[in-house]
Structure formats: C-alpha cells, structure tokens
C-alpha cells in the first residue's frame, strides 16, 4: 500500500507541476501582450525559439474536466482515503508447552484447526535426552503414522532435531502436530506453535 500511495502522490505532483507551468505560461502571454514594445526590432533568436518550443504545448483546458487544481488534488486524496484499510496481522499462540517428557518410542500429539491461511511458526527445544521428530500433518496422514505406515507432512516439520525454528504457510483445515521420540531413552521438549495472519 505504501508503494501505491507514493505512486498516487507522484501523479498528483506531476499534475501540479504541469498545471502551474501552464498557468505561468498563460500569464506571461497576457503580460507580454500588455507591453507596448516593438517586437519586430527587439525580438531575438532565443525569444523566437522559446516561443516555438512553447507553441507545441497544449494550453487549452481539458474539455472533460474543468475543475480547479485544488479540486482535483482534493478528489485524489479523498479517493485514497476511501480505500479500505488492511487489518494488521495478528499472532495467536496455538500451542505452548514446556518440559514435556516423552519416553522412548512414544509420541505426544495435539490437534488444531485453521479458519484462514496463516503463517505458522514452530519453535522447539530438546532440553534433555535424544533428538526427536516434531511433525505437522493432517488427521488422515496422522492415522497412517499411527498404523505404522508411511505418511506425508508439511515443510514446517522438524525431523531428528534438538531444536529449531521453522515456518510455513498453511491454509484453512484441520491439522495435527506431534512429537515422536524414536530413541529408547526419555526426552524433555519445549514446543511453541504460533499462527500469524
């Protein structure tokens, strides 16, 4: 939105410059015509080239819009103000667990639902014990995991980790996050899952 505002203000500034230049030129013609001078002997080549260059400029007001410059600027500012303002993104904590003990060969899981597309951030730390898998998947694939089958999971997941921060954009739907300890000894894990959107 900042880029668009800059673009709109840029157009307004160009319009002001063009209108001011047009008005000054029109005023200078009136002043020159009011002078009592002999143009046949006093005119120089530079004056004639100036007049020739300026004669290519269209000094007629636009037929479709005869509003004043101030009205045009006010209208463009009102149009910009009328644009809907984007709501600021909010961050919600989905899960925040500390010092969760997971025995070897076991897993802990939590289900959650998203109602819109969000950016998920997964932050984990293994405080004690062996590395763990922290997996984000959907309920159908989680069922495959529980049956001992191969399953799919999202990029935010962390395999064989001692801790990491990962992010991924996920759309509306139901999800499961679980911590799996493949080892034989107990791990102690902190996990935090937040959604921004």
Mark 140-157 as b/e (b = at least 16 C-beta within 10 Å).
ebbeebeeeeebebbebb
Average pLDDT over residues 7-20: 28
pLDDT band at 9 (very low <50, low <70, confident <90, very high): very low
Between residues 20 and 42, the one the model is more confident about: 42
Alpha carbons within 13 angstroms on the beta-carbon side of residue 106 total 11
**What is the fold, at CATH topology level, of the domain defined by 91-196?**
Jelly Rolls (2.60.120)
* Statement: residue 180 has pLDDT above 50: yes
Rounded to an integer, what distance in angstroms lies between the CA atom of residue 113 and that of residue 176? 9
* Statement: residue 153 has pLDDT above 50: yes
In the block, tokens 């037929």 appear at 63
Residue 5, pLDDT score: 29
Question: Do the bridges between strand 163-170 and strand 118-128 make them parallel or antiparallel, or are there none, so unpaired?
Answer: antiparallel
Residues in the chain: 197
Among positive and negative, which fits the CA dihedral 116, 119, 125, 126?
Answer: positive
In the block, tokens 């673009």 appear at 7
Average pLDDT over residues 114-131: 97
pLDDT band at 39 (very low <50, low <70, confident <90, very high): very low
Write the pLDDT tens digit of every residue in 48-81.
Answer: 433 444 444 444 555 555 677 777 667 766 665 5
Residue 57, pLDDT score: 46
Interior CA angle at 72 toward 80 and 55, to 5°?
135
How many other CB atoms sit within 10 Å of the CB of residue 83? 11
Residue 24, pLDDT score: 36
pLDDT band at 20 (very low <50, low <70, confident <90, very high): very low
**Burial of 22 from C-beta contacts in 10 A (0-12 / 13-18 / 19+):** middle
What residues does each domain of the chain span? 2-82, 91-196
Between residues 194 and 38, the one the model is more confident about: 194
What is the pLDDT of the chain when averaged over all its residues?
Answer: 74
Alpha carbons within 13 angstroms on the beta-carbon side of residue 193 total 25
Put simply, whether the predicted model's pTM sits higher than 0.75 gets the answer no
DSSP 52-108: HHHHTS--SPPSS----HHHHHHHHHHHHHHSPPPPPP-EEEEEEEEEEEE-TT-EE
* Statement: residue 138 has pLDDT above 90: yes
Rounded to an integer, what distance in angstroms lies between the CA atom of residue 146 and that of residue 148? 5
Most confident of 14-28, 29-43, 168-182: 168-182
Contact by Cβ (8 Å): 89, 118: no
């Amino acid at each position: 939105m900042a880029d668009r505002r800059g673009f709109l203000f840029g157009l307004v500034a160009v319009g002001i410059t063009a209108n001011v230049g047009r008005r000054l030129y029109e005023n200078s013609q009136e002043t020159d015509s009011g002078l009592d001078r002999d143009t046949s002997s006093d005119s120089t080549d530079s004056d004639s080239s100036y007049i020739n260059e300026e004669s290519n400029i269209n000094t007629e007001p636009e037929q479709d819009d005869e509003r004043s410059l101030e009205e045009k600027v006010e209208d463009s500012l009102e149009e910009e103000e009328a644009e809907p303002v984007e709501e600021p993104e909010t961050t919600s904590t989905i899960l925040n667990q500390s010092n969760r003990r997971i025995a070897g060969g076991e897993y802990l899981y939590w289900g959650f639902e998203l109602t819109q597309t969000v950016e998920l951030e997964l932050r984990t730390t293994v405080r004690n014990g062996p590395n763990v898998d922290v997996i984000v998947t959907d309920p159908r694939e989680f069922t495959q995991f529980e049956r001992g089958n191969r399953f799919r999971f999202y990029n935010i997941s962390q395999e064989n980790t001692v801790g990491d921060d990962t992010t991924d954009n996920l759309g509306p739907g139901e999800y499961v996050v679980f911590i799996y300890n493949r080892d034989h000894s107990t791990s102690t894990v902190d996990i935090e899952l937040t959604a921004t959107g």
